[in-house]
Amino acid sequence: MGSEADALLSPLADSIASAVNLLKLRRFEKSNAETAKSLKENLLQQPISSRRRRSDEDIFSGLSLLRSRESTPDQVYGALAEFDEIPVAASEILAAGWLYRLSAFEAVLVRTFPEAGRNADLRVYGKYVEKTDGMLQKSLELAAVHAEVLRRLAPAC
């Protein structure tokens, strides 16, 4: 389904892009698309409003070097600082949502219509929409509050 969508939309990309650029919005770069792709992987497990600078493996290795009664508070705070997350852009969250929908839609339809169209269980489809919308809405809320808290924490100029 993703490739069919690509085939349908690709010829229109230039005209859509020029119309959107007239709105003078912030450009959605390739790096934004890459971020959206990586966010998509976690969408059903947790909100996707932010990311850490380093991988979980790297952070775990750093924590494993700390020792009770030996590590200094500065060393501990240094390791914990790796958990500070960076908020992502709302456009990246929404793009991740669309990418997720494109990748999951077919499987949801199969679950909704388990007997080739007979006896549809629309509650399954309703739950899917409710869950993905809920996660996306929470992600947008988190990103906005996260940015506001960082603004308050920033030293006054």
Partner 1 sequence: MLLSDIEIAKRLVDPKSDRKLVVTPIISAKEQFGPSSLDVRLSTDFQRLENMNRSHIDLDERPRADEKVYREGKRIILSADGKFFLHPGEFVLASTLEFFRLPDDLAGRIEGRSSWGRHGLLVHATAGFVDPGFAGVLTFELSNAGRLPIMLRPGLRIGQVCFFQMSEPSLIPYHAKHLAKYFEATTLETSKADFDPEVSGTTPQAEKARSTLKIR
Residue numbers 52-71 binding partner 1 by CB under 8 A: 56-57, 59-60, 63-64, 66, 68
CA 83 to each of CA 79, 104, 119: distance values in angstroms, whole numbers, following the listed order: 8, 30, 47
Taking CB under 8 A as the rule, does residue 149 contact partner 1?
Answer: yes
Instruction: Answer yes or no: are the C-beta atoms of 59 and 26 closer than 8 Å.
Output: no
- Contact segment (CB under 8 A) with partner 1 among 6-14, 23-31, 39-47, 91-99 equals 39-47
**Is residue 38 a contact residue for partner 1 (CB under 8 A)?**
no
Overall size of the chain counted in residues? 157
Tell me if 89 contacts partner 1 by CB under 8 A. no
Residue among 13 and 76 whose Cβ is closer to partner 1: 76
Range 98-137, binding partner 1 (CB under 8 A): 123-124, 127, 131, 134-135, 137
- 148 is an interface residue for partner 1 by CB under 8 A: yes
Q: If we measure between CA atoms, which residue out of 123, 130, 132, 113 comes closest to residue 43?
A: 132
Q: Is 132 in contact with 42 (CB distance < 8 Å)?
A: no
- Would you say 36 or 88 has its CB closer to partner 1? 88
Q: How many CB atoms lie within 10 A of CB 49?
A: 25
